[in-house]
Amino acid sequence: MKKLYSLVVICLFVSCKKETPKTSPVIKKPVPAIILTDERKVEIDTAAIGTFKSETLKQFYIASENQTVWGNLAKRKYVLDQLENSDKFGLDPEDYKASQLKKFESKIGTLNDKDLATYDILLTYNFEKYLSHLYKGKLDPKKLYNNWDLDEKVFDVNNILIKAFNKNKLDSIVDNIQPKTETYKQLLKALDIINTFPDDNINSIEGVEKIVLNNTNSALINIKKRLLYWNDLSGKDSLTKIYNQKTFEAVKRFQERHGLASDGVIGIGTIKALNYSKENRKKQIIANLERWRWYPSELAENYFIINIPDYSLNVVENKDTTLVRNVVVGTSKRRTPVITSFLKTVVFNPTWTVPPTILKEDVVPAMKRNRNYLAKKNITIYDTSGNTVDPMAWNENKPNNYRYVQSPGYSNSLGLMKILFPNHHSVYLHDTNHRNIFGRNNRSMSSGCVRVENPLELAQHILDVDGNWPQDRIDTIIASKKTMSFKITKKYSLYQWYWTAWSKKNQLLFRADIYNLDSDLYAKLRD
């Protein structure tokens, strides 16, 4: 084991406390009355409604005095078309009984009163389910993940549906309730794009570790086929085993679309991305659409948005991206949590307290070998009374009886700055004492917190609202090595989210699913 490389990576690790976020109460509005036309309508037995065990459905039919409502052909046709074509939004038509409803419609003129009532209830129940899925997703992230901290999305489907029904504006309801964010729109476009690709039957690429320009390798035939399939390689190609310049440029385009180092070297990461089939990429897009429905439908005026698998942070103000930063995120074992919050405080010259895991796995073994180990790291030991403990008097049999605090400074594990925001996971944005890691392609390296490139520039940007934060003021604070905290007066929301697919300029873009969430989510969507 390399001598305590751990504190090279150690000091980057910050343990996260997991708590269950509180949910906000649901406020119910009075359900408006349904305006019925003179078309055929029948009484509905409330027992038939009760079999669905849905309070929403019950209230809907109370608004119509328990009479059928879908007598109008145009309204029925709109609902049926929506459910039958729900796959264009990444949903499954059979989740909404599209085939069964179509059969009912085919014999609408011969249905007896009981069957007509059944058809009416099924139309309402499934259309409301469809609208709810479009607005806030099919699944509940709080039941899937214990490290996701998102505000609950409340959806009063009856009010929205009945008002559209009464005003004959059903055709606008689907567009109005879906997320307004640009990434969501790009995902819908990505689904359109991938559906234009033919079925792919290209063999998997195997046995490749590294191919560089002008190499000869039999795997290049299938590599070229895949590049042609995804339109990264254009025109005709002889499909030879030689890695020529044209293929080299195509590989770089493919790598750039997938967030890989676009160096033209065909390695394990590039092969893994090439081996994704059309069907698997489509599933990935659908999983990301579901995820984006969990997020707020509209974003704040000013915000930080972090895409965890893309290792990126964008500062957006008044719909304009003002700063872009590379970031480092948590490993697959110590994941960066998904959070919606707001920025609160900038702390310059922060201290760092060694968390329990690092204490147990790294610090204690090192201290047993060398009592001066912590002193070299500028870490002071304190007892329960807050008194400084000499390393030689440290009790190695009771290491948890102490606090271990690293003093502020350039080499502090948190670097020179951290940004705090309310959350249940004890995570924050911060600098690092290993500032050369931002050039790496894979930056899943922390214990949950997000490390930011060039953090002092970021701090100045968000603090300098009235011109009171010139660079020399920050330089003076840093030089003092005193811990100082400053409230962020400008309102910034924080969106620390996870997405691995989108589109841009009619091109499909993907990122490695570093926490292996996509395939599992898709499987749950189709359960």
Question: What is the Cα gyration radius of the chain?
Answer: 29
Q: Which residue is associated with the tokens 């926490």? A: 515
3-state helix, strand, coil in the chain (%, to 5): 40, 15, 45
| pLDDT value of position 236 | 73
| pLDDT value of position 32 | 86
The CA-based dihedral angle spanning residues 261, 262, 266, 271, taken in that order and rounded to the nearest 10 degrees: 70
C-alpha to C-alpha distance for 178 and 181, rounded to whole angstroms: 9
C-alpha to C-alpha distance for 64 and 68, rounded to whole angstroms: 7
| Measured distance between the N- and C-terminal CA atoms of the chain, rounded to whole angstroms | 45
* Cβ atoms < 10 Å from Cβ of 409: 14
Collect the ranges in the chain with pLDDT lower than 70: 1-28, 38, 237
C-alpha 266, offset from chain centre: 28
Please, how many CA atoms are within 13 Å of residue 350, restricted to the half-sphere of its CB? 23
| pLDDT value of position 319 | 92
Contacts of 194 (CB under 8 A, 6+ apart): 278, 281, 282, 285, 508
Q: Tell me, letter by letter, the H, E, C secondary structure of 11-34.
A: CCCCCCCCCCCCCCCCCCCCCCCC
Alpha helices in 277-407 (DSSP H): 278-294, 356-358, 364-369, 373-376
C-alpha to C-alpha distance for 112 and 452, rounded to whole angstroms: 66
How is residue 323 written in tokens?
Answer: 């700063």
Q: Residue 169 in contact with residue 176, Cβ under 8 Å?
A: no
* DSSP-assigned beta bridge partners for residue 504: 507
| pLDDT value of position 36 | 77
Torsions phi, psi for 260 (to 5 deg)? -95, 160
C-alpha to C-alpha distance for 212 and 25, rounded to whole angstroms: 59
Closest to 70 measured CA to CA, from 117, 27, 26: 117
| pLDDT value of position 2 | 41
* Cβ atoms < 10 Å from Cβ of 505: 6
Q: Residue 411 in contact with residue 453, Cβ under 8 Å?
A: no
Alpha helices in 278-360 (DSSP H): 278-294, 356-358
Instruction: Tell me the residue length of the chain.
Output: 527
C-alpha to C-alpha distance for 93 and 98, rounded to whole angstroms: 6
Q: Which residue is associated with the tokens 């970021």? A: 458
- Burial of 298 (C-beta count, 10 Å sphere; 0-12/13-18/19+): exposed
Q: Residue 266 in contact with residue 227, Cβ under 8 Å?
A: no
C-alpha to C-alpha distance for 129 and 125, rounded to whole angstroms: 6
Measured CA distances, 49 to 37, 58, 128, 268 (Å): 22, 6, 14, 56
How is residue 494 written in tokens?
Answer: 């924080």
The 8-class DSSP code of residue 266 comes to B
C-alpha to C-alpha distance for 431 and 33, rounded to whole angstroms: 57
C-alpha to C-alpha distance for 233 and 282, rounded to whole angstroms: 21
C-alpha to C-alpha distance for 177 and 128, rounded to whole angstroms: 12
C-alpha to C-alpha distance for 191 and 282, rounded to whole angstroms: 7
DSSP-based three-state secondary structure for 213: coil
* Cβ atoms < 10 Å from Cβ of 438: 17
| pLDDT value of position 237 | 64
Contacts of 2 (CB under 8 A, 6+ apart): none
| pLDDT value of position 164 | 95
Q: Which residue is associated with the tokens 């659409």? A: 289
Closest to 512 measured CA to CA, from 441, 455, 427: 441
Q: What is the DSSP string of 418-437?
A: EEE---SS---EE--S-TTG
* Catalytic residue ranges: 430, 449
Contacts of 518 (CB under 8 A, 6+ apart): 283, 284, 287, 288, 500
* Cβ atoms < 10 Å from Cβ of 25: 8
